């Protein structure tokens, strides 16, 4: 969807859909980067000198859910229900230090980490730079927070375009919506894609195993997922694995991720649930306006699963190395804005 009247019209539309404020909360604190933040705001903490950088965290809450986000990458750090269940992966570096990185200005990898573009050349690693940058907390209230990232000399060195990117987290009934607003602040047509990468604890309850969980799709799906070149992280769209045949459910196991993520690039559904057969616990993800979806867990039997809604995909082996030719690339004219959002509901 596109916000014709700018970010305020878009954020007003979020409230009109029932994502207005509810409950009360506090925000703004500083903690260590590797610390798993508590759900309720606490005092500021800093890592001792010589042990790395400190992060500023913002906690928002209502009567059903508490969410914490960081200025580093504007990344969610925790999602906790009113019952005290922690849903978001805790970032344990033994498996994966990420939690819910934001992917911009593209999703996936470029062949050789570079591609030609209308402004010259893009030269960036997998998933771009937004997840590694320090963002500005632009605005925060009881149950929402808005982060801003703008182009600078460092971003232009790898992505020669001027932009303003905002990520807004808004709480609803047992849910958090991540809304992106991208604006082209330069004088050239700006190509980009964007995506989310939140990961969730699997299992969520004591006495459960990874294999007790399954995915439930909104519609029956026949899915032939492209294989992945593990060296270059390219999608081998000319060689596919059948993972679903006219069914709404996909049982999870660790073996299915030995070849990296399952990328659904021909998906009909725009709602997917991750559920436990034993407890019924899980999450629901709604991603209208995002045409691609991936499911990932590290090959080393990690206790989490990432659900990733994307507007574009990584480079396919059948594609050339022109950035504008990548699958799902969007284009913004100078001064134009674009918005897209996805919602996670805890179950």
What does 130-162 look like in DSSP terms, one character per residue?
A: GGGSBPEEEEE-SSEEEEEEE--HHHHHHS---
Q: Which of 47, 45, 71, 73 is nearest to 59 (CA)?
A: 71
Place 247 in a pLDDT band, splitting at 50, 70 and 90: very high
Diameter over CA atoms, the chain: 57
pLDDT of residue 44: 28
Q: How confident is the model over 304-325, as pLDDT tens digits?
A: 999 999 999 999 999 999 999 9
**Averaged pLDDT for residues 268-283:** 98
The 3 state secondary structure assigned to 255-271 is HHHCCCCEEECCCCCCE
Is 299's pLDDT higher than 90? no
Three-state DSSP at 27 gives coil
- Sign of the torsion angle spanned by Cα atoms 283, 295, 199, 251: positive
User: What does pTM read for this prediction?
Assistant: 0.87
pLDDT of residue 53: 55
Q: How confident is the model over 27-71, as pLDDT tens digits?
A: 344 333 344 444 334 322 333 333 345 679 999 999 999 999 999
Report the C-alpha gap between 261 and 276 in whole angstroms: 20
Report the C-alpha gap between 32 and 48 in whole angstroms: 9
Q: Are 264 and 215 in contact (CB under 8 A)?
A: no
Tokens 């596109």 sit on residue: 2
**Averaged pLDDT for residues 280-289:** 97
pLDDT of residue 179: 98
pLDDT of residue 58: 98
Report the C-alpha gap between 70 and 76 in whole angstroms: 6
Tell me the Ramachandran region of residue 246: left when phi exceeds 0, alpha when psi lies from -120 to 50, beta otherwise.
Answer: left
pLDDT of residue 109: 97
**Averaged pLDDT for residues 281-298:** 98
Place 300 in a pLDDT band, splitting at 50, 70 and 90: confident
What does 100-138 look like in DSSP terms, one character per residue?
A: S-EEBS-SS--GGGEEEETTEEEE--TTBSGGGSBPEEE
Q: Provide the strand spans (E) within 152-291.
A: 163-172, 175-184, 190-192, 195-196, 199-201, 213-229, 234-251, 262-264, 271-276, 282-286
Q: How confident is the model over 72-115, as pLDDT tens digits?
A: 999 999 999 999 999 999 999 999 999 999 999 999 999 999 99
Is 241's pLDDT higher than 80? yes
Q: How confident is the model over 254-273, as pLDDT tens digits?
A: 999 999 999 999 999 999 99
Average per-residue pLDDT for the chain: 88
Is 17's pLDDT higher than 90? no
Under CATH, which number does the domain 7-346 receive? 2.70.98.10
pLDDT of residue 187: 97
């Amino acid at each position: 969807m596109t916000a014709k009247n700018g970010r305020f019209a878009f954020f007003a539309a979020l409230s009109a859909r029932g994502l207005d404020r509810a409950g009360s909360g506090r925000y703004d604190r500083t903690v260590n980067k590797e610390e798993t933040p508590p759900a309720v705001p606490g005092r500021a903490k800093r890592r001792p000198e010589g042990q790395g950088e400190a992060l500023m965290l913002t906690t928002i809450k209502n009567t059903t859910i508490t969410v914490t986000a960081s200025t580093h990458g504007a990344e969610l750090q925790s999602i906790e229900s009113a019952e005290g269940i922690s849903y978001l992966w805790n970032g344990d570096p033994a498996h994966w230090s990420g939690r819910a990185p934001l992917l911009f200005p593209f999703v996936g990898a470029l062949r050789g980490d570079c591609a030609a573009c209308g402004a010259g050349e893009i030269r960036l690693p997998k998933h771009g730079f937004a997840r590694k940058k320090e963002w500005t907390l632009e605005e925060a209230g009881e149950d929402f927070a808005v982060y801003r990232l703008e182009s600078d000399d460092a971003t232009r060195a790898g992505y020669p375009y001027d932009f303003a990117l905002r990520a807004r987290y808004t709480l609803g009934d047992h849910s958090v919506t991540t809304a992106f607003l991208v604006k082209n602040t330069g004088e050239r047509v700006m190509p980009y894609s964007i995506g989310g990468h939140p990961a969730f604890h699997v299992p969520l309850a004591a006495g459960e195993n990874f294999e007790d969980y399954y995915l439930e799709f909104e519609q029956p799906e026949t899915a032939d997922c492209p294989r992945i070149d593990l060296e270059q992280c390219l999608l081998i769209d000319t060689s596919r694995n059948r993972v679903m045949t006219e069914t709404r459910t996909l049982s999870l196991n660790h073996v299915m991720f030995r070849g990296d993520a399952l990328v659904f690039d021909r998906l009909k559904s725009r709602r997917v649930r991750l559920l436990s057969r034993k407890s019924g616990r899980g999450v629901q993800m709604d991603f209208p306006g995002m045409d691609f979806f991936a499911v990932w867990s590290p090959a080393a039997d990690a206790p989490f699963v990432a659900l990733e809604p994307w507007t574009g995909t990584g480079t396919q082996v059948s594609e050339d190395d022109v950035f504008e030719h990548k699958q799902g690339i969007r284009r913004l004219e100078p001064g134009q804005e674009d918005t897209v959002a996805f919602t996670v509901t805890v179950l």
